[in-house]
């Protein structure tokens, strides 16, 4: 079964505490066709990648296996190389074997790519090109990045408690268009003989329309508020963006649409983040704003993401980087990758019960006061990646109800 947006045809479920939306029923993105539950067997491509990637993927894999076994799910895991690890082994950041495995799987779970070792490589030999290529080849155009402040971690935020407490927003980022992929791009010489670099911010109508539809349907399942972020006072691509989003809004009269320039949005996310529920924006703005939003929560190590297309497997990954400075030291925070695995189950495989089991386990583990260094505070227990993973596993097995953890 492949993960897909199907333009987000959601199945209603009973409201419960969910990391992805605390105030409404969890958003379910069902694949089509839906296999019978008697099959319950899926192929998952694992891409540990670089830095802390292998460490956090190892924890997430164990959690997936346990949660799956307890809910009658079986997996076939295919581990493949990507990024710097692939460069060292094969000479390219995205080997054909990796891409083929990803395309043929039901879902893809990625750790992280990149590291200082490859910073000076030519652009086509940088680890990060693998991620862009994978997204493009899988045709995943909608990147969903939730940013919610866990009650247990509100004091870990760098913002005042009254600002951070209760923040629960979703950034819907267009993923395969815009300046990251636009052409022409490259290097040249200007009329004064100086070397220059150039990129193209370009969006076609259909690219804007499909991400707008996705965002409106997500907003409808949350609190009915959508803020479209652009730079329409300067950029032609943003003028078209605003025009198309406004036109599509007519199809969603139950969703309140607002527009905001990206520079103002960056300020408002810090000043009053609770004003936002769902944000939709282009590739580069979404890249920046979602990372900014993540820090409201206290740590980028807490936040997962899902990248979905109209058909085919979805790509699920933590939004943190490879953190080469702590790689191999058992200091990595695996929560974001574990929650990405929960998103994989919920959005990619329509296995909501197993996903909820993992979400409950994360909350239960936080309630026990266990923390990695990035979210540590006085009065909590500092643990490493492996020990935290073991504790999450215990909570997965006990399946503490979400209501008991809030």
pLDDT tens figures, 188-206: 999 999 999 999 999 999 9
Beta bridge partners of 146: 170
pLDDT for 38 equals 54
CA distance 356 to 18: 8
Compute the CA torsion angle 47, 346, 304, 237 (nearest 10 deg): 100
Residue numbers of the domain that contains 271: 154-297
**What average pLDDT is seen over the chain?**
89
Cα torsion angle, 11, 13, 15, 17, sign:
negative
Instruction: Verify whether residue 263 is a known catalytic residue.
Output: yes
Q: Which residues contact 67 (CB under 8 A, 6 or more apart)?
A: 73, 345, 354, 357, 358, 361, 396
Give how many domains the chain has, as a whole number: 2
**Residue 230 annotated among the catalytic residues of the structure:** no
Is the model more confident about 13 or about 50? 50
Domain final position from 297, 312, 344 = 297
Q: Are residues 266 and 327 in the same domain?
A: no
pLDDT of residue 45: 98
pLDDT value of position 3: 47
Q: Is residue 15 part of a domain?
A: no
- Residue 178 CB neighbours (<10 A): 24
Is 205 among the domain residues? yes
| Confidence bin at 21 (pLDDT 50/70/90) | very low
CA-nearest of 169, 271, 174 to 213 is 174
Domain end point (choices 297, 319, 336):
297
Residue 145 has pLDDT above 80, yes or no: yes
42, 180, 252, 347: which one is catalytic? 180
Residue 40, pLDDT score: 86
State both tokens at 278.
Answer: 């769902």
Residue 287 annotated as catalytic: yes
Residue 123 is encoded by which pair of tokens? 């652009």
Say if pTM beats, i.e. exceeds, 0.75. Answer: yes
Burial 181-220 (b: 16+ CB within 10 A, else e): beeeeeeeeeeeeeeeeeeebbbeeebbebbbbbbbbbbb
Number of helices followed by number of strands (H, E) in the chain: 12, 14
Please tell me whether residues 135 and 185 are part of one structural domain.
no
Q: Is 325 a catalytic residue?
A: no
pLDDT at 36 over 80: no
What is the H or E stretch that residue 381 is in?
Answer: strand 381-382
Per the annotation, the verdict on 381 as an active-site residue is no
Residue 161 has pLDDT above 80, yes or no: yes
Structural domain contains residue 382: yes
Residue 401: pLDDT band by 50, 70, 90 thresholds?
low
In a shared domain, residues 230 and 334:
no
Which of the four pLDDT bands, split at 50, 70 and 90, describes residue 37?
Answer: low
**For 362-387, what is the mean pLDDT?**
95
Q: Does residue 16 register a pLDDT over 80?
A: no
Tell me which of 139, 209, 261, 291 is the catalytic residue.
Answer: 291
Q: What is the pLDDT of residue 299?
A: 81
Whether residue 347 is predicted with pLDDT greater than 50 in this model: the reply is yes
CATH number, residue 173: 3.40.718.10
Q: Which one of 287, 350, 364, 374 is the catalytic residue?
A: 287
């Amino acid at each position: 079964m492949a993960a897909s947006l199907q333009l987000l045809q959601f199945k209603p479920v009973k409201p419960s505490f969910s990391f992805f939306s605390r105030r409404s029923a969890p958003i379910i993105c069902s694949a089509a066709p839906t296999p019978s539950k008697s099959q319950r067997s899926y192929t998952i491509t694992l891409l540990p990648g670089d830095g802390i990637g292998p460490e956090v993927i190892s924890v997430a894999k164990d959690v997936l296996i346990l949660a799956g076994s307890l809910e009658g799910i079986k997996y076939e895991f295919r581990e493949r190389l990507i990024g710097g690890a692939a460069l060292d082994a094969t000479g390219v950041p995205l080997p054909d074997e990796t891409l083929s495995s990803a395309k043929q799987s039901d879902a893809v779970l990625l750790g992280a790519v990149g590291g200082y070792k490859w910073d000076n490589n030519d652009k086509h030999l940088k680890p990060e090109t693998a991620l862009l290529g994978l997204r493009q080849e899988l045709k995943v155009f909608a990147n969903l990045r939730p940013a919610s402040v866990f009650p247990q971690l509100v004091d870990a935020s760098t913002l005042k408690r009254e600002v951070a407490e209760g923040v629960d927003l979703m950034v819907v980022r267009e993923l395969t268009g815009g300046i990251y992929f636009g052409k022409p791009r490259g290097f040249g010489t200007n009329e004064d003989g100086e070397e220059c670099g150039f990129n193209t911010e370009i969006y076609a109508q259909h690219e804007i329309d499909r991400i707008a539809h996705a965002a409106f349907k997500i907003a409808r399942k949350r609190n009915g508020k959508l803020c479209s972020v652009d730079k329409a006072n300067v950029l032609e691509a943003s003028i078209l963006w605003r025009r198309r989003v406004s036109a599509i809004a007519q199809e969603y009269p139950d969703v309140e649409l607002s527009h905001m320039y990206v520079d103002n949005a960056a300020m408002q996310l810090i000043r009053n983040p609770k004003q936002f529920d769902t944000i939709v924006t282009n590739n580069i703005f979404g890249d920046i704003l979602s990372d900014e939003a993540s820090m409201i929560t206290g740590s980028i190590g807490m936040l997962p993401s899902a990248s979905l297309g109209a058909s085919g497997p979805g790509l699920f990954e933590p939004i943190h980087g490879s953190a080469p400075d702590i790689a191999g030291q058992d200091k990595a925070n695996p929560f974001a990758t574990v929650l990405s695995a929960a998103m994989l189950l919920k959005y990619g495989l329509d296995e909501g019960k197993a996903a909820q089991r993992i979400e409950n386990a994360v909350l239960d583990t936080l309630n026990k006061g266990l923390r990695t260094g990035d979210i540590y505070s006085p009065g909590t227990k500092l643990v490493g990646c492996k020990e935290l993973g073991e504790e999450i596993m215990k909570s997965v097995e006990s399946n503490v109800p979400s209501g008991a953890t809030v």
